Structure 1
Amino acid sequence: MKKIRFILLAILVSTVIYGCSSSGDSDEGDENTLTFGVTDWTSTVPPTKIAGKILEDMGYDIEEIDADTGSVYTGMSEGDVDIFMDSWFPAQRQYIERYSDSIESISVSYDDANSGMVVPAYMEDINDVEDLKGNEDIVNNEMMAIGEGDPAMQDMEKVIDFYDLDIEMINSSEAAMLAAAEGEMDEGNPVLFYGWRPHSMFDKFDLKILTNEEATEQEGLFDSSEIHVIANKELEEKAPEAFQFLSNWSISMEDMEQMIAEIDSGEDPDKVTEEWIDNNQDKIDDMKNGN
C-alpha cells in the first residue's frame, strides 16, 4: 500500500513540475511570437512575407492572421495582432485616430501610391472623375469596388456624392471585382472600377486612374497615398529589435508592383520574396541597424 502511495505521489509531483515547466515555456513562446495582420489585398503579401522571413532569421516566431481591414485594426488595438504592413494613409486614418491609445504608425514603406476610379485607356474621353457626369450610362451606372467595409470605399462614396454622379458601387472581393472588370475589358466595353497602385492590374492592362482635381483640392479625397507600417504600442517593449527593424522599414513601389505581378502570374510568394531578400541584403542590414 505504501508503495502504491509513493508511486501516486511521484506521478503527482512530476505532473505539477511538468505543468509549471510547460506554462513557463508557453509564456516565453508568446513573448517571442510576432503576429502579422493580413488582408486579402495583393499589396499586403510581399511586405508581410519579407518582414516575416527577416524577423524569423532574427529569432522570432511568426504568425499570420487573415482578416478584413477593420478586424486587423481591432486585433492590433486589443493586442492580438502586433503588426500590419499595408496601412494606407490618409484612407485608413480613421482607424489610427480611433485606436490611437494602443496603435501607432512606426514607418512609411513608400509615399507615391495612388488610388481611385479606374478605367481602361481606350475610354479616351474619360480622364477626370468630372468627365463621368452625364455619361454614367456608358458604364451602366455602376462602379465595381472592393468590400464596403474598407475605409477607401467610404471616401469613394464621398467622391460620388461630391460630383453628384448617378453611379452605384457594386462591392465584392478584390478578386471578384477584377474578374468582372477583366470580363468587360476582354469585350472592349467601357467599365469603371476601383484601383490602386501598386497592383498587378497596371502591369496586366492598359489602365488609368481618373484625376480628381476638384474633390482633391476642396475635400482632400484620393490625393496621393503613403503606405505605413502600423504596430501595437507594446511592440517596442515586447520585441525591441523587431521594432527597430520595422521603424526603418522601406521598400519601393516599383519593387512591390513587380513582386505582385509575379505572384499573380502563379509564382510562389515565398520564392518571390526570398529572391527580393537575396538581392537586397545591404538594404536589409541598414534597416536592422537603423542606418
Structure 2
Amino acid sequence: MKTRTLTKLGGILAASALALTACGASNSGGEEAGGGDETKASDKDWSACKPGDDSKDVADISDDKKEVSLGIFNGWDESYATTYLIKNVLEEDGYKVKTDELDAGPMFTGVAKGDIDFFTDGWLPLTHESYIEKYGDDLVDHGCWYDNAKLTIAVNEDSPAKTIEDLKTMGDEYDNTLYGIDAGAGLTKTTKEKAIPEYGLDNLEFKISSTPAMLAQLKKSTDADENVAVTLWRPHWAYDAFPVRDLKDPKNAMGDAERVYSFSGKDAAEEHPYVSQLLQNLVLDDDHLASLENLMFSEDNYNGKDHEKAVAKWLKENPDFVDQWKKGELAK
C-alpha cells in the first residue's frame, strides 16, 4: 500500500456512531456541497449517501469545453483507479484530460479556487471533515461512488474464525499471531487500542511491521494454504489478489465505514455538466474496485507502473461497464 495509509487511516479511527441523512446529489449532476443555499457544507451529514444516487443517462448531455483537469491524491490507490477510469472514458469521447497529483490540502484548495476541475477521493464524514469545514461551501458535490471504506481484520477464506472475537479462542489456528502494518498507521492504533482490548486478544502477538511485510505474509500463508490473520482495510486490491475475507466485528471496534465522494469547483460543474453527471453515475463495489486496483498495483500485474494500460485491460475484461456507467445503470 502507498503512503496514504498513515494519513488516511488515522482519520478513519474515530468513524463511529454517526447519524445518517441523504447525500447531496442532484439531477443536474451535482449540487453545492452543503446541499444548497440553506445548509452549510460543514453542517451536512455525509454518512448515508447511496452510490449512484440521481444517476441518469448522459446521452443528451454535452460539454462545450472538452478540456478538463482531474486531481489525484498522492499515493491513494482508489484515487488513481477512479481518475484513470474517467480519463479513459473522456479521452474516448474526445476530451483532452490533464491530471495533477497532490496531497489532500492542496487538492481541496485547488479545486475550491478553480485551479483543478474535479477529484474523486473525498472521504466523509470523518477523514476529510476539516477540509469540508474550510472549503466545502466553494465545492460542488457529485455524490458518492463507494460506501464501504473501513478498517478490517481479515483471514484466509477457508480458515475457522468468523468474528474477531473468535481469535481469542482460536489463536492456535493462527500461530497466535496477528500481522499488522506500520507502527504509525491509524489502522495499527485502532487495532491496538480498540480491537485487542475489546475482544480480549492478549493471547495474540500483534506483529507490527509494514504494509509490504503484511502483504508478503498474506501471500506466503495463502499460497501455503495456512491460516493467517492480518489487519487490512477496504478498498484494497488484496481482496482480489488473495483468498481472504473480513472477520465480523460485532462490537464495531474497528469503526464504521465511510463514503468516498467526488467534488468539483462551482465553475467546473457549470462548464462540464457531462463530466459532472458521469461522476454522479459512477459506482464501484468491492469486487470491481479490488479487481481494478489489483491490475493496477499488485506486483503480479502492472505494479503501479502503467495506469492507462491497466485500466484499458480492466475495461476490456468488463465490457459492459462503460455502457452501464453512461446510462446510469451501475447503481441498479
TM-score of the aligned structures, taking structure 2 as reference length: 0.57
Matched, 1:107 2:143: yes
Match of 2:109 among 78, 81, 85: 78
Q: 1:112, 1:224 within 8 Å by CA — same for their partners in 2?
A: yes
State, as a whole percentage, how many aligned pairs show the same letter.
21
Segment drifting more, 243-252 vs 130-139 = 130-139
Rounded to whole Å, the distance in 1 between the matches of 2:285 and 2:319 is 16
The residue aligned with 1:208 is 245
Give the 3 Å change call, closer, same or farther, for CA 278–134 of structure 1 in structure 2. closer
Q: CA deviation at 1:32?
A: 4.7
Aligned residue type for 2:323: D
More helix per residue: 1
Partner-residue secondary structure (3-state), 1:94: coil
Rounded to whole Å, the distance in 1 between the matches of 2:281 and 2:209 is 35
Q: CA deviation at 1:116?
A: 0.6
Match of 1:59 among 78, 95, 108: 95
Give the 3 Å change call, closer, same or farther, for CA 63–43 of structure 1 in structure 2. closer
Larger Rg: 1
What does the per-residue CA deviation read over 1:25-79, in whole Å, with 9 as the maximum and x for residues that have no partner? Answer: xxxxxx95513224545544432211122334353432141x6xxx3x2222221
Q: 2:168, 2:201 within 8 Å by CA — same for their partners in 1?
A: yes
Match of 1:116 among 143, 146, 152: 152
Does 1 or 2 have the higher relative contact order (CA < 8 Å, sep 6+)?
2
TM-score of the aligned structures, taking structure 1 as reference length: 0.63
Match of 1:183 among 203, 211, 220: 220
Aligned residues: 243
Match of 2:324 among 276, 279, 283: 283
Partner-residue secondary structure (3-state), 1:78: helix
Matched, 1:172 2:213: no
Give the 3 Å change call, closer, same or farther, for CA 235–136 of structure 1 in structure 2. farther
What does the per-residue CA deviation read over 1:114-142, in whole Å, with 9 as the maximum and x for residues that have no partner? Answer: 65101113431x22112223666755554
Q: CA deviation at 1:159?
A: 2.8
Q: CA deviation at 1:249?
A: 2.4
Matched, 1:247 2:280: yes
Q: CA deviation at 1:178?
A: 1.2
Aligned residue type for 1:255: H
Ranges in structure 1 where 5+ consecutive residues have no aligned partner:
1-30
Matched, 1:130 2:135: no
Give the 3 Å change call, closer, same or farther, for CA 278–141 of structure 1 in structure 2. closer
